[in-house]
């Protein structure tokens, strides 16, 4: 597709290809089929998330072209994978964070946030490129935190009373539910909780790279089990997969950006645990401003661990494609 | 003036020149006449702000010479523009933040903060220089936040009760007042709210560079209008220009540091909106510690957008002078 | 010792040497005797702190070898000095932060945190190396903040009521007690408050480098006196040395990493004051999440001031050894 200009009629195919790759890039896949399966999963889990992903992707691709990004970066979905998350996460989390159904103007804020992600990706990417580290989904985290706080300041949402402490003192851990949590974690990357969606994500990743799919699953499992260490009973959040998605991404990122060897895989495992610890630590900090932690724990842990992986020993090679314009 | 040594009697003229340039550098002007007009504006708006600017500037220039900064950086006002803001902002905001008239010892804390800005400018400038990004007014933000919190810990200020929620539910937007807000924004850069002061700032910038003056005004207008999106009625703060100063600086910084072309001007406009969104997002975060956001939203947005501007496409050239010792 | 392989029987001696050097590296000493004296001081002050230091050191050295760190970095204690602090600070501060005696499982969290410090040191070290700045004890600060918050989330600790405001309005400053505070500050670096321990620290540093010992003491004194400026009476914390340890480290770091000259020593003094101001500013911010500030104020100030020291003028040379793998 790279041969065709962005001005020819083929542009529609190129844009669809880029949208699908962007959806897959969130989990480090660079393959339109992978993206398509995940998109189907999103629609199965939450129709609005699917629509949000498409709307924000198109906004991001348009912005990137106007800002003169390089063709190959746009084609690979690097300009829009952060916008995908704006679309899925805002639509999925708005009701729980703001305590009301999502009103129409929020779609406008999503478009603005999608424009921001492209600019921040350009800037942050360039700064971090100097250290040979990818910007991951930091642009999404910056844009979504900013926009959510702005919407609160603009008067959106009802003043949610903090829920009364649950008196359920259920101590026993349901291991079957924990296993279900490791599966559900995959969908939580896009903030969608649905078994079918999660299965499609794993299938889609497996098509792109079996190693990546396996590493991501092990990461999700490590994160979920760490969740038992860093939260207190009742462990509902563990069973719902909420403790696994940072581990999923953390292990996946190390496996994807570095050539796997035993030492790298050990670092990937440590990173999954580290990201989950950070998730637990940042939860109350973000909650003080009424925000969930999004994927920031994964970003923080992985930036440090990718640098550590590159630092220790020569036999590992960075295999990432150029992510920046 | 560069020919004369700092030890000759001409030193007085050199120092005055540097003080005035430092005042102008806050808004990216490098011209003593621009600085003089703004200084007059400060005195018109708030006598103490004018005195604070001069006292802190002198402290900073002295510190920079002792620390062996290069002559041209000191002469251009790079060592003291952060200190200028310490002087104007502390004197202007102390009464509202601490709920009492400013007592004498605060001038001592201002001097200490001015010394800090020089050191932080040296350090942060050097770190960010590696990425070819200027430190902007980050040193001021670090020093002023630190000092304000320290003064609170040292027992300054009265325990201000959070004001009871205003019941005024005035929905209609006064567009004339919004326009007045776009004008007042210029003075808020130095934390002074005064129409005459703002007019002098625009006049002073126009003398230095008509393009910069225009870009800054458009930024102030975009910021003020964005303020309607990211705050809720009654829009008193919008009318007072509080939502415009980050946009003013954000648009100005991109226009100043990059060679303007349509793409750069678009980025400058996005930056003005982005900075205002960040301002809204950080307001409650800073307020939790009893602080205003100062110019940190501008700094955060502009660092990212300057990097983005440099990243996307070759035809733009950095025109900033070396800002660092 | 460097001649012997890590696989020969001499490994025991190498490990002991590395543990001791790591303990000394916290205060920039690189000498096993210095480390031994400080370790004795730790045991005198708090037996658990001594044990924690040893356990976490061994964990860190093992992790570093598995992750393939370079021999000389491990031998010099660079892989384990952050872990030393995990061991001493967790054991010393757990009772006051969590309001209960330290239960056994916390030792497990300490081991996990020690593993994290090694990975973060590798990553952060590599990122900051690009700017020629050491990572200092930032890895410890990241790991310990994360772990403390995680333990809170996992249900450790009793809900401590905020202590009722003390009504003692003792205005007079006991200068003898302030002097005692400058002495006690040294032990607070390892979170141990004990006159004998502090004296052993100074003695140990003096053996390694008289200049470093003197600079650290002057820093502790400057910090303690600044503490009077940035806190309010009664000055119990000043008398206990709590305001001196960041100054101790701040002045020591500049003196150690740069070749001392009058300008560098001035910067070291400013750094000690700056770190103490930041300590005061961050106290309420950290306290909002129920955490002490650890040594983060020192790290933040010193990163900026080391960069400033390198920026201003040529006659200063970095003398640090390569800190990174």
What's the CA gap between C216 and C246, in Å, rounded? Answer: 10
Report the residue from B271, B283, B311 with minimal CB separation from A325: B311
Of A67-71, A292-296, B187-191, B194-198, least confident by mean pLDDT is A67-71
Q: Residue C170 has what pLDDT?
A: 58
Best residue in A281, A284, A297, A316 to probe C by mutation, most C CBs within 10 Å? Answer: A281
Give yes or no for a cis peptide into C93 (omega within 30° of 0). Answer: no
Report chain A residues whose CB lies below 8 A from the CB of B171: none
Of A8-17, A119-128, C84-93, least confident by mean pLDDT is A8-17
Q: Residue B187 has what pLDDT?
A: 93
Question: What percent of chain B clears pLDDT 90, i.e. is strictly above it?
Answer: 74
Look at C153 and A312 and tell me if their CB atoms are within 8 Å.
no
Please, which pLDDT band fits residue C144 given cuts at 50, 70 and 90? Answer: very high
Pick the more confident residue, B233 or B126: B126
The pLDDT of C269-278, averaged and rounded, is: 96
- Say which residues have a Cβ less than 8 Å from residue B132's Cβ, sequence separation at least 6: B310, B318
Residue B320 above 90 pLDDT?
no
Of A124-138, B77-91, B302-316, C172-186, least confident by mean pLDDT is B302-316
Nearest CA in chain A to C154: A231
CA distance C110 to chain A (A): 13
Q: Residue C171 has what pLDDT?
A: 65
The pLDDT of C294-316, averaged and rounded, is: 83
pLDDT tens digits, one per residue of B265-313: 999 999 999 999 999 999 999 999 899 999 999 999 999 999 998 876 5
Token pair 């301002």: residue: B279
Report chain C residues whose CB lies below 8 A from the CB of A131: 126-127, 130
A321 half-sphere exposure, CB direction, 13 A CA radius: 12
Look at B119 and C308 and tell me if their CB atoms are within 8 Å.
yes
The neighbouring-strand residues paired with C318 are: C258
Q: Residue B233 has what pLDDT?
A: 78
Of A40-49, A255-264, B151-160, B223-232, least confident by mean pLDDT is B151-160
Query: What secondary structure, in 3-state letters, does chain C show?
Result: CCCCCCCCCCHHHHHHHHHHHHHHHCCCCCCHHHHHHHHHHHHHHCHHHHHHHHHHHHHHHHHHHHCCCCHHHHHCCCCCHHHHHHHHHHHHHHHHHHCCCCCCHHHHHHHHHHHHHHHHHHHHHHHHHCCCCCCCCHHHHHHHHHHHHHHHHCCCCCCCCCCCCCCCCCCCCCHHHHHHHHHHHHHHCCCCCCHHHHHHHHHHHHHHCHHHHHHHHHHHHHHHHHHHHCCCCCCHHHHCCCCCHHHHHHHHHHHHHECCCHHHHHHHHHHHHHHHHHHHHHHHHHHCCCCCCCCHHHHHHHHHHHHHHHHCCCCCCECCCCCCC
Question: Is-contact B137 B81, C-beta < 8 A?
Answer: yes
Backbone angles phi, psi at A187, to 5 degrees: -70, -30
Q: How deeply is C157 buried, as exposed, middle or buried, from its count of CB atoms within 10 A (0-12, 13-18, 19+)?
A: middle
DSSP assigned state of A101: P
Tokens of A130: 């100097």
Q: Which residues of A touch B (CB under 8 A)?
A: 66-69, 112, 115-116, 119-127, 130, 142, 145-150, 152-155, 288-289, 324-325
pLDDT tens digits, one per residue of B67-88: 988 888 999 999 999 999 999 9
Best residue in B301, B311, B313, B314 to probe A by mutation, most A CBs within 10 Å? Answer: B311
Q: Which residues of C touch A (CB under 8 A)?
A: 66-69, 112, 115-116, 119-127, 130, 142, 145-150, 152-155, 288-289, 324-325
Best residue in A308, A314, A315 to probe C by mutation, most C CBs within 10 Å? Answer: A308
Terminus-to-terminus CA distance in chain A, angstroms? 19
pLDDT tens digits, one per residue of A271-282: 999 999 999 999
Look at B281 and A325 and tell me if their CB atoms are within 8 Å.
no
What's the CA gap between A58 and C37, in Å, rounded? Answer: 64
The pLDDT of C26-48, averaged and rounded, is: 93
Look at C147 and A266 and tell me if their CB atoms are within 8 Å.
no
The pLDDT of C254-275, averaged and rounded, is: 92
Residue B155 above 60 pLDDT?
yes
Please, which pLDDT band fits residue C173 given cuts at 50, 70 and 90? Answer: confident
Q: Which conformational region is residue C290 in: left (phi greater than 0), alpha (psi within -120 to 50 degrees), or beta?
A: left
CA distance A135 to chain B (A): 12
Report chain A residues whose CB lies below 8 A from the CB of B266: 66-67
Please, which pLDDT band fits residue A108 given cuts at 50, 70 and 90? Answer: very high
Please, which pLDDT band fits residue C80 given cuts at 50, 70 and 90? Answer: very high
Please, which pLDDT band fits residue A325 given cuts at 50, 70 and 90? Answer: very low
What's the CA gap between A154 and A146, in Å, rounded? Answer: 12
DSSP assigned state of A4: S
Q: Which residues of B touch C (CB under 8 A)?
A: 66-69, 112, 115-116, 119-127, 130, 142, 145-150, 152-155, 288-289, 324-325
Look at A122 and B311 and tell me if their CB atoms are within 8 Å.
yes
Average pLDDT for chain C: 88
Report chain B residues whose CB lies below 8 A from the CB of C305: 119, 123
Token pair 């004001």: residue: B163
Q: Residue A159 has what pLDDT?
A: 62
pLDDT tens digits, one per residue of A4-47: 666 677 788 999 999 999 999 999 988 899 999 999 999 999 99
The pLDDT of B240-251, averaged and rounded, is: 95
Q: Residue A40 has what pLDDT?
A: 94
The pLDDT of C255-259, averaged and rounded, is: 89
Terminus-to-terminus CA distance in chain B, angstroms? 18
Q: Name the range with the highest mean pLDDT among C174-178, C223-227, C256-260.
A: C223-227
Q: Which of A173, A189, A291 is nearest to A229 (CA)?
A: A173
Q: Residue B5 has what pLDDT?
A: 67
Please, which pLDDT band fits residue B315 given cuts at 50, 70 and 90? Answer: very low
Token pair 């430190």: residue: B135
Helix axis angle for A47-66 and A11-25, nearest 10°, is 120
Q: Residue C233 has what pLDDT?
A: 78
Tokens of C197: 């321990």
Question: What percent of chain A clears pLDDT 90, i.e. is strictly above it?
Answer: 73
For chain B, the maximum distance between any two Cα atoms, rounded to a whole number of angstroms, is 63
CA distance B233 to chain A (A): 8
Q: Look up the ipTM and state it.
A: 0.90
What's the CA gap between A125 and C202, in Å, rounded? Answer: 46
Residue A320 above 60 pLDDT?
no
CA distance A298 to chain C (A): 14
Question: What percent of chain C clears pLDDT 70, i.e. is strictly above it?
Answer: 90
Nearest CA in chain C to A280: C150
* CB–CB contacts below 8 A, A to B: 97
Question: Is-contact C230 B150, C-beta < 8 A?
Answer: yes
Look at C127 and A307 and tell me if their CB atoms are within 8 Å.
yes
Q: Which of B320, B296, B129, B305 is nearest to B212 (CA)?
A: B320
Residue A157 above 50 pLDDT?
yes
Question: Is-contact A58 A43, C-beta < 8 A?
Answer: no
For chain C, the maximum distance between any two Cα atoms, rounded to a whole number of angstroms, is 63
CA distance B123 to chain C (A): 4
Q: Which of C294, C284, C206 is nearest to C242 (CA)?
A: C294
Look at B312 and A146 and tell me if their CB atoms are within 8 Å.
no
Q: Residue B11 has what pLDDT?
A: 86
Nearest CA in chain B to C232: B154
pLDDT tens digits, one per residue of A198-249: 999 999 999 999 999 999 999 999 999 999 999 987 888 999 999 999 999 9
Residue C168 above 80 pLDDT?
no
What's the CA gap between C265 and A311, in Å, rounded? Answer: 33
Instruction: Label residues C250-283 b or e (16+ Cβ within 10 Å = b).
Output: bbbbbbbbbebeebbbbbbbbbbbbbbbbbbbbb
Residue A119 above 50 pLDDT?
yes
Nearest CA in chain B to A118: B308
SS3 state of residue A258:
strand
What's the CA gap between C43 and A74, in Å, rounded? Answer: 60
Cα A10-A16-A20 angle, rounded to 5 deg: 145
SS3 state of residue A275:
helix
pLDDT tens digits, one per residue of B87-132: 999 999 999 999 989 999 999 999 999 999 999 999 999 999 888 8
pLDDT tens digits, one per residue of A250-275: 999 999 998 888 889 999 999 999 99
Please, which pLDDT band fits residue C186 given cuts at 50, 70 and 90? Answer: very high
Chain centre to alpha carbon of residue B135: 12
Q: Residue C183 has what pLDDT?
A: 92
Average pLDDT for chain B: 88
B-contacting chains (≥3 CB pairs under 8 Å): A, C
Of B55-59, B173-177, B291-295, least confident by mean pLDDT is B173-177
Backbone angles phi, psi at C147, to 5 degrees: -65, -40
Best residue in B229, B263, B270, B308 to probe A by mutation, most A CBs within 10 Å? Answer: B308
The pLDDT of C208-234, averaged and rounded, is: 93
Of A19-33, B20-34, B151-165, least confident by mean pLDDT is B151-165
What's the CA gap between A162 and A164, in Å, rounded? Answer: 6
Nearest CA in chain C to A315: C68
Report chain A residues whose CB lies below 8 A from the CB of C119: 267, 270-271, 274, 304-305, 308
pLDDT tens digits, one per residue of A169-196: 556 788 889 999 999 999 999 999 999 9
* CB–CB contacts below 8 A, B to C: 95
Please, which pLDDT band fits residue B2 given cuts at 50, 70 and 90? Answer: low
Q: What is the pTM of this model?
A: 0.92
Please, which pLDDT band fits residue C65 given cuts at 50, 70 and 90? Answer: very high
Tokens of A55: 């709307």
Of A57-61, B68-72, C210-214, least confident by mean pLDDT is B68-72
Q: Residue A316 has what pLDDT?
A: 45
Average pLDDT for chain A: 88
- Say which residues have a Cβ less than 8 Å from residue B167's Cβ, sequence separation at least 6: none
């Amino acid at each position: 597709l790279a041969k065709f200009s962005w001005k020819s009629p083929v542009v529609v195919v190129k844009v669809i290809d880029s949208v699908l790759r962007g959806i897959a890039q969130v989990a480090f896949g660079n393959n339109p089929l992978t993206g398509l399966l995940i998109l189907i999963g999103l629609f199965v889990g939450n129709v609005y998330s699917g629509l949000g992903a498409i709307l924000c992707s198109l906004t991001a691709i348009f912005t990137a072209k106007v800002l003169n990004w390089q063709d190959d970066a746009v084609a690979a979905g690097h300009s829009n994978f952060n916008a995908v998350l704006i679309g899925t996460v805002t639509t999925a989390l708005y009701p729980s964070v703001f305590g009301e159904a999502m009103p129409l103007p929020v779609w406008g804020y999503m478009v603005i946030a999608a424009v921001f992600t492209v600019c921040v990706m350009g800037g942050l990417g360039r700064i971090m490129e100097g250290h040979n580290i990818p910007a991951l989904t930091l642009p999404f985290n910056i844009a979504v935190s900013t926009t959510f706080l702005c919407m609160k300041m603009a008067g959106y949402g009802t003043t949610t009373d903090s829920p009364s402490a649950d008196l359920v003192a259920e101590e026993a851990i349901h291991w079957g539910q924990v296993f279900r949590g490791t599966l559900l974690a995959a969908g939580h990357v896009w903030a969608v909780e649905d078994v079918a969606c999660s299965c499609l994500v794993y299938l889609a990743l497996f098509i792109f790279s079996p190693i990546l799919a396996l590493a991501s699953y092990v990461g999700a499992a490590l994160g979920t089990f760490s969740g038992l260490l860093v939260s207190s009973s009742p462990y509902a959040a563990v069973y719902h997969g909420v403790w696994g998605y940072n581990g999923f991404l953390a292990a996946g990122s190390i496996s994807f950006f570095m050539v796997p060897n035993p030492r790298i895989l050990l670092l990937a495992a440590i990173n999954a645990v580290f990201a989950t610890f950070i998730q637990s630590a940042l939860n109350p900090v973000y909650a003080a401003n009424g925000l969930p932690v999004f994927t920031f724990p994964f970003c923080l842990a992985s930036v440090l661990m990718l640098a550590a992986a590159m630092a220790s020993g020569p036999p590992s090679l960075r295999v990432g494609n150029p992510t920046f314009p």
